[in-house]
Amino acid sequence: MKKNASILLACLAVLVATWSFNSNQFNNPNKDKLLIELISYVLDRGHFEPKLINDDLSEQMFFDYIEAIDAQKRFFLASDYKEFEQYKYALDDQIKSLKIDFFKTTHTRFLKRIAEVQQFYEQLLDKPFDFSVDEQLDVDYNNQVFSSNTTERKNKWRKQLKYSTLLAYETKLSEEKIKTEEDPEYVPKTEAEIEIESREATLENLKNVFDYLTNELQEEDWFSVYLNAFVSQFDPHTYYFAPEAKDRFDTSMSGKFEGIGARLQKRNQAIKIVDIISGGPVWRGKQVEVGDQIIKVAQGEAEPVDVTTMRLDDAIKLIKGPKGTEVRLTLKRVDGTIEVVSIIRDVVELEESYAKSIIIEKGGKTFGLINLPKFYIDFKDYGERNAAIDVKKEIEKLKKSDIEGLVIDLRNNGGGSLQTAVDMAGLFIEKGPIVQVKTTRNKNEVLYDRDPAILWDGPLVILVNETSASASEILAAALQDYKRAIILGGSQTFGKGTVQNIVDLNRFVSNSDLGNLGALKITTDKYYRINGGSTQLEGVKSDVVVPDRYSYIDLGEKDQSNPLDWDQIEPTPYTTWDRYLNYEQAIQQSKLRVANNKNMQLIDENARWIRQQQDDNLYPLSLSAYQKEIEDDKSYVERFDQIKNYNNRMSYSSNSDDLLAINDDEEALEKRDRWTTTLSKDIYLEEAVSILQDLQLRYIPKNSLATSNSDTE
């Protein structure tokens, strides 16, 4: 195991050491040009699959950069775009010759257009909006064109401001109605007063946005956007970190920070929740879900700020904040409904991201569940604490309760340490290969479990979903290839089969007077299953597919821009698990149960409706149409209440070791109670336990379990 770990940890060091360079090679006095030179060098020599910097790359980079700075096509005019098009096939030449004419031209023009919009947006908010007019706002910006003149551009802004005001207006109307119902003596505000307040809120929001655009953002901030339009052509996980962004990344990786405990991503001009961190305020509050879009952010009782036009980093600055402070998020749910939620920021608790277990009782039999939020590791001391060691401890505790089957829950597990996934797989099989790794220099490594001992030799089910990624996919794929576990979940996992490393760009330059140059996160390796197939794009396909509300939403690697392709290499020899008597039969029995389960059918119907809602890009701008849409959505969503109220009628209890540890800790007991309440509503866990009940084992004398198999190493 130590050999495997050293291979991975030394990978980048070896890679950098083999590059031929000296510090005098990079001495351009212009910081922007120096960054282009350095980044191009690192990408060419360090990226797993370097691309030709040619006209094809130039064209896509052109589109991506314009979209990054004016995604909603509300600043530039069609004449600007036509002028910019002369660079569409010239950006590759600009990069090679270290020229930044295109950036300078677009940046100067963008600042000019911002100033023009500043001259008229207050006029648009000077008089009341007529919410009786039947018109719509089209948010399908990808299929729109830039305004041909200033009149068209002003009308685009009018509709956007009207929609923002309508959201506030309807919310305030609802609040006044509730106050009147709760207090007969309350004197409600008039509709005219509410309309004025709503416009004032929109105006204040726009002032903040433009103050940020013109006063806080510097040219180097926009140049970072330009650089990322370049590096993102190589793959979606290669990213340039400006010094400040690198500091934020380091903080997020430290496992302790103050905020709401959620990971955000901007896709298709929308800021969405893509991961909820166990133990954080969002996780504890259960008000926010993966897939929710953040529309507005408010600090406590302050007016909300519209973040739909902001860069992701800028929105994050508004959302994060000190422990104990309140942030209110206006969310567009995955089902299309709009809701405001209040979150009290807190320190995200690392302890809640560790493995934990619970005992399940069903039909007079006892089973175990281990929840693993991520594959964590102490990089300073691998043996001190890591996911594999903790899972081993949880299994040992569960075995004391004579469990008859085990479920490993990897849902929403975004991955982490590959080595912990390798070690964890070894807990369930005799020695053998777990994963293949192909490096930048086309060197293949096979990572093995070399310990013939098996900690758990009973029935095993792995729970996954569309956000199970990276190391989660390695573990699930290995146990599926060995036919050691049955994989239960969505049609496939996330599909991230690559690994990234951080390259400090400052190491290439000596005695630079240009300040901190930042860092480049770069894709350096690719994972392959022991059967030779990559987990890239395809992920791990579940043995038993169950519907969930994300079934038809674009969440995976295949839905990212410029993902690396799926491919395969030669399989490495391995011997499948032979202790199950009815492996295939148990899978078929589960599929039949799922197909005939009315609640599963309802979940699938809900998922299809959610997809339909997300494809609707026309928003009404009349109050009556907007309110009708809200009521229609609410009525339809109520059809799925029985899913929320479902009870799987299994009982849950902590093992004696855990009870002893948390007996006097009220907060820990509350967290455990909240977890068991969630588990009692988990229809997927119920099916996982049903599979465990179905699986039958061939008897093998205990003294033969630790013998070596026939794998070739």
Q: 269-316: per-residue pLDDT in tens?
A: 678 887 777 667 887 777 888 778 888 888 888 878 878 767 777 788
Tokens of 408: 């490993």
Distance CA 341, CA 600 (A): 28
Residue 668: its pLDDT value, please? 78
Taking Cα atoms as reference points, which of 277, 345, 279, 265 lies closest to residue 312? Answer: 265
What local confidence, expressed as pLDDT, does residue 254 receive?
40
Q: Is residue 275 part of a domain?
A: yes
Check which CATH number belongs to the domain holding 370 and give it.
3.90.226.10
Q: Are residues 135 and 188 in the same domain?
A: yes
Q: Cα 165 to the chain's mean position, in Å? A: 30
**Which residue range forms the structural domain that includes residue 473?**
354-495+536-557+574-595+650-704
Please tell me whether residues 210 and 289 are part of one structural domain. Answer: no
Say if residue 286 is in the same domain as residue 422: no
The CATH number assigned to the domain holding 337 equals 2.30.42.10
Q: Which of 52, 140, 64 is closest to 106 using CA atoms?
A: 64
Q: How far apart are CA 368 and CA 359, in angstroms?
A: 5
End residue of a domain, out of 293, 325, 347: 347
170 and 303 together in one domain: no
> What's the angle, vertex CA 100, arms to CA 98 and CA 102, rounded to 5?
135
The maximal CA–CA distance of the chain, rounded, in angstroms, is 85
pLDDT for the residue numbered 89: 98
Question: Are 88 and 209 part of one and the same domain?
Answer: yes
Q: Which of 713, 3, 36, 42 is nearest to 440 (CA)?
A: 42
Range list of H helices, 128-276: 150-182, 191-211, 219-231, 243-253
Among 305, 323, 347, the domain boundary falls at 347
CA angle 45, 50, 51 (to 5 degrees): 135
Phi-psi category of residue 268: left, alpha or beta, with phi > 0 → left and psi -120 to 50 → alpha: left
Please give the Cα distance from 515 to 243 (Å, whole number).
9
How would you write 514-543 as a 3-class SS string? CCCCCEEEEEEEEEECCCCEECCCCCCECC
Among 216, 233, 250, residue at a domain's last position: 233
Q: CA neighbours within 13 Å on the CB side: how many for 505?
A: 30
pLDDT at 275: 73
Residue 394 lies in a domain: yes
Residue 468 lies in a domain: yes
pTM of the model: 0.84
Lookup result for tokens 């104990």: 324
Strands (E), 440-543: 444-449, 460-463, 486-489, 498-504, 519-528
Q: Are 428 and 456 in contact (CB under 8 A)?
A: yes
Find how far residue 420's CA is from the centre of its chain.
21
- At 131 the pLDDT is 95
CA distance 361 to 233: 51
Provide the number of structural domains found in the chain: 3
In a domain, 37, yes or no: no
Same domain assignment for residues 119 and 185: yes
Which of 477, 465, 483 is closest to 585 using CA atoms?
Answer: 483
Separation CA 76–CA 502 (nearest Å):
35
Q: Which pLDDT tens digit goes with each residue over 74-133?
A: 999 999 999 999 999 999 999 999 999 999 999 999 999 999 999 999 999 999 999 999
584 plus 448 within the same structural domain: yes
Q: How many residues does the chain have?
A: 713
Say what the pLDDT of residue 269 is. Answer: 60
Judgement on whether residues 326 and 396 belong to the same structural domain of the protein? no
Name the amino acid, one letter, at 506: N
Tokens of 623: 């109050």
Closest CA to 577 of 704, 422, 428, 409: 428
3-class state of residue 128 by DSSP: coil
**Alpha-carbon gap, residue 575 to 570, rounded angstroms:** 16
Q: Flag whether 565 is in a domain.
A: no
One-character DSSP codes across 11-61: HHHHHHHHS---GGG---SSHHHHHHHHHHHHHHHHSSSPPP-SHHHHHHH
Q: How many CB atoms lie within 10 A of CB 620?
A: 19
613 vs 210: CA distance, rounded Å: 31
Q: Token pair of 412, please?
A: 């929403």
**Contact status, residue 366 vs residue 404, Cβ threshold 8 Å:** yes
Reduce the DSSP state of residue 286 to 3 states and report it: coil
Q: Are residues 72 and 197 in the same domain?
A: yes
**205 and 288 co-located in one domain:** no
Sign of the alpha-carbon dihedral angle for 267, 268, 269, 270 = negative
Give the tokens for residue 540.
């791990």
Regions of the chain where pLDDT drops below 70 = 1-24, 245-258, 267-269, 278-279, 309, 336, 348-352, 379-383, 511-512, 700-713
Q: Are strands 356-362 and 651-653 parallel, antiparallel or unpaired?
A: antiparallel
Q: What is the C-alpha separation between 392 and 312, in angstroms, rounded?
A: 39
Do 458 and 326 share a structural domain? no
State whether 372 and 335 are in the same domain.
no
Q: Looking at residue 74, what DSSP letter applies?
A: -
| CA nearest to 598, candidates 643, 540, 651 | 643
Strand partners, 343: 327
Cα dist from 274 to 33, 350, 468, 553, whole Å: 34, 19, 11, 12
| Residue 36 within a domain | no
Whether residue 437 is contained in a domain is answered as yes
Strands 544-545 and 486-489: parallel
Task: Please check whether residue 190 lies inside any domain of the structure.
Answer: yes
